[in-house]
Amino acid sequence: MLTHAHATLDDTAVTALVADAITAPSMHNAQPWQFAYSRARRTFTLRADPTRAMPLADPTTRALHLGCGAALLNLRAAAAHAGHRTATTLLPDPASPGLLAEVRLDTPDAPHELLNGALSGLYRMLRERRTSRYPFAERRIPDRVRAALAEAAHREGARLAFLTTPHREAVLDLIVHAEGYDRMDDGREAEQRAWTRDTHTSAPTDGVPDYAFGPAGRGAAPMRDFAGRRTVPGRRYAAFERRPQLATLSTTGDGPADWLRAGQALQRVLLLATREGLVGSFATQPLEWPDLRWLVRDPRSGAGHVQMVLRLGYGPQGPRTPRRPVAEVLTITP
C-alpha cells in the first residue's frame, strides 16, 4: 500500500480520481467545477466554474459551493480508497475566492486524515448514489441509521436533524410556497428550464435529463418539478408518501467555507445512506428565497443556517444522470 501511495501518480490514476469526484450531485446537474492536478506538488486544486452558476436561484453561489463540496468529499474518498493520505485545505488563497480547495496527497509534513478511515469504506457507493424523485415507502428509518447519518454529517462539520412532525408539516408548506414563487417568476422559470434536457433530441452531458424528473406528484410532494409549466409526454402521476422523512443539514456559519463543509457533509450522508439501503432527494426551493429560508430552521435549536433539505427513505433508485467528460474538467500540469 505504502509503496503504491508514494509512487508517482500517473495520469490515468489522476483521471480516475477525478472521474470518481464528478459523480457528485450538483444543483440542476450543472457540474460547476474545474480540477487541476500538479504532478510536482502532488496536489489537486478545485475551482468553481462561474459560467455554471445560477444567478437568479443561487445569487450568492451557496448551492454552487455545496455541489463542489460534494465533489471534494468524493475526491477524498477516492484518494483514500486508492491508498493515499490526503490533506485538504478549504479556500487556500483568500485573494482568489474561486479557488475552493486544495487536496495534497501523501505529504509527510501536513496533518493527514487517517488512512483506511470510514471514508474509503464509502467509496463503493459513489456510483450507486443517485437522486430518486420517486415515491418512497412509509417505512420509518430506524433510529440507529438516523444517528449514524447525523454522525457522518458531524464529522464534516455540519448538523443533520430529522424534522419532527409539526416542523415537517411547516417545511412541506414552505416547499409548496417556494414552488409557487418560482412558478410566478419568469426569470427563474427560464433559468431552471435552461438546465433541463430533452433526451429525445439530444445526448446531454449536463443538466437534468427528462427521464430523471420522476412522476408528477399528487398532493404535496416535496419535489422540485423540473417539468415546470410544461407537460412531458407519457409522464405518469404517482401518490407520494404522506409522511416524507425530511432532514435539514445546517452549519454554524454561512460563508463559503461553511457551504463547502455542508457539501462534504451532504455527500458523506448520502453515501452512507446509500450503503444503508436508503434513497434520497432534495428540496431546496425554500432555501432559494431568503424570507422562506429562515423559516426552515429547526425551531428546537433555533441556531445555525440551513444549507439543505433532504428527503430520505426506502424506494426505487433514481436513474443515472450524465456527466461531462473528465477531459473537460481536468487539467494536469507538470
Ligand X SMILES: Cc1cc2nc3c(=O)[nH]c(=O)nc-3n(C[C@H](O)[C@H](O)[C@H](O)COP(=O)(O)O)c2cc1C
The answer to whether 256 contacts ligand X (rule: CB under 6 A) is no
CA distance 302 to 293: 13
The answer to whether 133 contacts ligand X (rule: CB under 6 A) is yes
Rounded to the nearest 10°, the torsion over CA 8, 116, 259, 280 is 120
DSSP string covering 202-270 = ---SSSEEGGGS-PEEES------TTTTS--TTPPEEEPPSS-EEEEEEES--SHHHHHHHHHHHHHHH
The residue from 259, 285, 311, 312 that contacts ligand X (CB under 6 A) is 285
Q: Which is nearer to ligand X, 43 or 67 (CB)?
A: 67
DSSP state of 131: B
The answer to whether 25 contacts ligand X (rule: CB under 6 A) is yes
The answer to whether 21 contacts ligand X (rule: CB under 6 A) is no
Grid coordinates of 181: 414563487
Q: How many CB atoms lie within 10 A of CB 304?
A: 19
CB of 103 to ligand X, least distance (A): 19
CA distance 216 to 130: 18
The answer to whether 318 contacts ligand X (rule: CB under 6 A) is yes
Choose the binding region for ligand X from 10-18, 20-28, 159-167, 240-248 (rule: CB under 6 A).
Answer: 20-28
The answer to whether 120 contacts ligand X (rule: CB under 6 A) is no
Binders of ligand X among residues 38 to 77 (CB under 6 A) are 63, 66-67, 70
> What interhelical angle do 186-193 and 165-184 show, nearest 10?
90
The residue from 9, 19, 26, 179 that contacts ligand X (CB under 6 A) is 26
The answer to whether 224 contacts ligand X (rule: CB under 6 A) is yes
The answer to whether 197 contacts ligand X (rule: CB under 6 A) is no
CB of 262 to ligand X, least distance (A): 9
The residue from 28, 47, 76, 81 that contacts ligand X (CB under 6 A) is 28
Burial call 234-270: b when 16+ CB within 10 Å, e when fewer:
eeeeeebbeebbbbbbbbeebebbbbbbbbbbbbbbb
The residue from 45, 86, 88, 131 that contacts ligand X (CB under 6 A) is 131
The answer to whether 27 contacts ligand X (rule: CB under 6 A) is yes
> Exposure of 7 by Cβ count < 10 A (0-12 exposed, 13-18 middle, 19+ buried)?
exposed
CB of 240 to ligand X, least distance (A): 13
The answer to whether 251 contacts ligand X (rule: CB under 6 A) is no
Contact positions toward ligand X, by CB under 6 A? 25-29, 63, 66-67, 70, 130-131, 133, 208, 223-224, 281-285, 318, 321
